[in-house]
Amino acid sequence: MERTFVLGLALTVAGLVGYGVGVSTAYPGRELTLVGIMVGLTLTAVGLGGGGS
């Protein structure tokens, strides 16, 4: 698997877990989980696109 895809997938999963925890418990910076999800999904899509040489 390409590194970009794996990194995007890991960031998406971490963001979703952080969001789930943030729903039940308020903690500083929990809004950043949404940014992590968006960036993770973008990296996953770029990694799937491949376009290798």
pLDDT digits (tens, 9 = 90+) for 12-34: 999 999 999 999 998 888 899 99
53 in a structural domain: no
Q: What is the crossing angle of helices 32-49 and 3-24, to 10°? A: 160
Is the model's pLDDT at 52 over the cut of 60?
Answer: no
**Mean of pLDDT values over 6-14:** 96
- Tallying the residues shown for the chain, one arrives at 53
Number of independent structural domains in the chain? 1
* Contacts (Cβ under 8 Å, ≥6 apart) of 33: 15, 16, 18, 19, 22
Domain around 17: 3-48
Q: Is residue 8 part of a domain?
A: yes
20 alpha carbon, distance to own chain's centre: 13
Does residue 50 have a pLDDT over 70? no
Give, as one character, the DSSP assignment of residue 27: -
Distance from chain centroid for Cα 35:
8
